[in-house]
Structure 1
Amino acid sequence: MRYFGIFQQISELKLPFCEENDLYEAFYADFYDKIMEGIFYDLDLYKAQAAVTGRNILELACGSGRLTVPLAEAGYSITGVDLSGDMLNILDGKLRGKSSRIRQRVEVLNSDMRTFRTDKRFNLAILPVTSICLLENNEDVVTMLNNVYEHLCDRGRFVFDIRVFDNPQTAAGQANMMGYTWETGNKKVFVMMQECFYTLEAKAVVNFYGEIAEGDKTARKLGCTIKRLITEEDVEAAVKETRFSIAKTKVIRLSPDETMKFYILEK
């Protein structure tokens, strides 16, 4: 785990009843699902690509189903792959509340995006919300790309996004602190989260700390997730080592400080 600022100070306190989690496991899997609810900046783009390629979709890093569920509701067949069993458990709970027709459109694999295997072949593969940045180096990216390539139909497409900065040097340092509070039954929950960009190391480190109060007991959750800051040059170099071609790119500016660049690769 790598902590900075107030999170490092909390870590050094060695507080009682404090455990460490990744952003995609245990308590923080539910937290991540909560903060991502209703974020669909990319959904229409994936639907547009599926309209071109076909309705059988492979979703890598599907998590708790932010896109899986609405795509299945829209009539697409989805195979979701994720390394986190906790995230997939949340997705399973969501699917149980849907009709059997929608549930039958979804299959999930608890596996690594670099090494998963299935006999299915897909018209479209997607890797949302900059999840490609979870891969530590370009060798892992190439391995993942080659694995996806083998699971696509001829002329199938693979779409993923990265975060791009107008000026990487000015992006260095800590982003604004974010705080969240909510109540679940008898539990009162508080979480604070902050991201720090280490541009010289090409890494983004997200720290988070939460407290769950229930009666006179308080559980504490400290955690960290590290993402690689993949550049456009990194992507293009990785693609050149595969049989994919870059069909097109698309940029979506979410805010003055946050821009997503989508790569649409074709087999």
Structure 2
Amino acid sequence: MNQSYSQFASVYDELMTDIPYEAYVDILDGAAAGIEGKRILDIGCGTGLLSVKLAKRGADVTGIDLSTDMLAVARERATSLSLPIQFVQQPMQELEGFSGFDVAVIAIDSLNYVLDRADVLATFKHVHKALSVGGSLVFDVHSLFKIDEIFMEGPFTFDNNRIAYIWETDEGDVPHSVYSELAFFVREESGLYRRFDEIHTQRTFEVNSYVELLREAGFSIERIFADWEDEAPHEESERIFFQVRK
């Protein structure tokens, strides 16, 4: 992420309105046999949208994110709702100081920002250490098809009359990665537009590679499914979900 991430944090929620966070809560509820009263580690929590929904369902939530600006928004959101969520700034591949959690989640392709295979393994190992025996990890990643095919169909545009962007994509420097340059235009009260720019790089791996890394970290695989449905991934699936257990 670049230095304008504080500006990105201010528009992030508006750009994520199509994400079915309630469906994610239901997935976690099923994985944990009920999340009420459970300790949940929300890794890559961003502005706390999922953390808040989990806390509203009675979970004891701790949110982790690399961005202090995102966490500032998350803290403000939780405070405004009187929800006792703890937020901590850490990179997921260096996660430390956590133990005894019932569930960990890395939602909405946050793991795809970890570009090195060794760092993905380190993330899984740290999460494994943070969970209690029998605890679950649920995460999703972009499929190879989405990274290699769909993202390469750019540029993409968006305009909702307050926020507009032009999103240009190119192949990244490593296999199955995408390099994105986004120019945002945010309408101010004066009617003028403020521009800021973002650079993002994401990478994904084959499903079998994730399975190998998860098993090396000590997890057992419970199910792998795609696109919010309880169905096995196919060659044109876009979002792959993993549910694993310590």
Taking the aligned partners of 1:86 and 1:181, their CA distance within structure 2 comes to: 24
**In terms of Rg, which structure is larger?**
1
Taking the aligned partners of 1:95 and 1:86, their CA distance within structure 2 comes to: 15
Is residue 135–residue 141 contact of structure 1 (8 Å, CA) maintained in 2? Answer: yes
**Matched residue, 1:265:** 244
Give 3-state SS (helix, strand or coil) of 1:67's partner.
helix
CA distances 1:133-160 after superposition (whole Å, capped 9, x unpaired):
1111110011111101111001111111
**Matched residue, 2:33:** 51
Taking the aligned partners of 2:174 and 2:184, their CA distance within structure 1 comes to: 29
Unaligned residue ranges in structure 1 (runs of 5+): 2-19, 184-188
Matched, 1:30 2:4: no
What amino acid maps onto 1:86 in structure 2?
D
1:206 is displaced (CA, Å) by 2.5
**Matched residue, 1:223:** 198
**Matched residue, 2:69:** 86
CA distances 1:15-56 after superposition (whole Å, capped 9, x unpaired):
xxxxx646xx11111222221135224232122213257711
Is residue 224–residue 240 contact of structure 2 (8 Å, CA) maintained in 1? Answer: yes
Q: Number of residue pairs matched? A: 237
Is residue 60–residue 128 contact of structure 1 (8 Å, CA) maintained in 2? Answer: yes
CA distances 1:157-194 after superposition (whole Å, capped 9, x unpaired):
111112225597654623351223444xxxxx533334
Residue among 164, 178, 183 paired with 1:209? 183
Taking the aligned partners of 1:128 and 1:119, their CA distance within structure 2 comes to: 18
Is residue 174–residue 194 contact of structure 1 (8 Å, CA) maintained in 2? Answer: no
Give matches, 1:72-83, under 5 Å: 72-83=55-66
Pair 55,232 (structure 1): closer, same or farther in 2 beyond 3 Å: same
**Matched residue, 1:42:** 24
Is residue 168–residue 199 contact of structure 1 (8 Å, CA) maintained in 2? Answer: no
Which of structures 1 and 2 has the larger relative contact order (alpha carbons within 8 angstroms, sep 6+)? 1
Matched, 1:122 2:97: no
1:242 is displaced (CA, Å) by 1.6
TM-score, normalised to structure 2, is 0.83
Is residue 182–residue 198 contact of structure 2 (8 Å, CA) maintained in 1? Answer: yes
Which of 245-254 and 234-243 deviates more? Answer: 245-254
Matched, 1:237 2:222: no
Is residue 112–residue 142 contact of structure 2 (8 Å, CA) maintained in 1? Answer: no
Taking the aligned partners of 1:91 and 1:120, their CA distance within structure 2 comes to: 22
**Matched residue, 1:247:** 222
Which of 132-141 and 235-244 deviates more? Answer: 235-244
Taking the aligned partners of 1:141 and 1:194, their CA distance within structure 2 comes to: 26
CA distances 1:61-91 after superposition (whole Å, capped 9, x unpaired):
0010121111111111111100000001111
Pair 152,128 (structure 1): closer, same or farther in 2 beyond 3 Å: same
Taking the aligned partners of 1:114 and 1:98, their CA distance within structure 2 comes to: 30
- Give the structure with the larger strand fraction: 1
Pair 212,238 (structure 1): closer, same or farther in 2 beyond 3 Å: same
TM-score, normalised to structure 1, is 0.77
Give 3-state SS (helix, strand or coil) of 2:185's partner.
strand
**Matched residue, 1:68:** 51
Give matches, 1:150-229, under 5 Å: 150-165=129-144, 170-171=149-150, 173-175=152-154, 177-183=156-162, 189-196=163-170, 201-212=175-186, 215=190, 219-229=194-204
Give 3-state SS (helix, strand or coil) of 2:217's partner.
coil
What amino acid maps onto 1:211 in structure 2?
F
CA distances 1:225-246 after superposition (whole Å, capped 9, x unpaired):
0000222132123123221121
**Matched residue, 2:112:** 133
Pair 139,151 (structure 1): closer, same or farther in 2 beyond 3 Å: same
Give 3-state SS (helix, strand or coil) of 1:150's partner.
helix
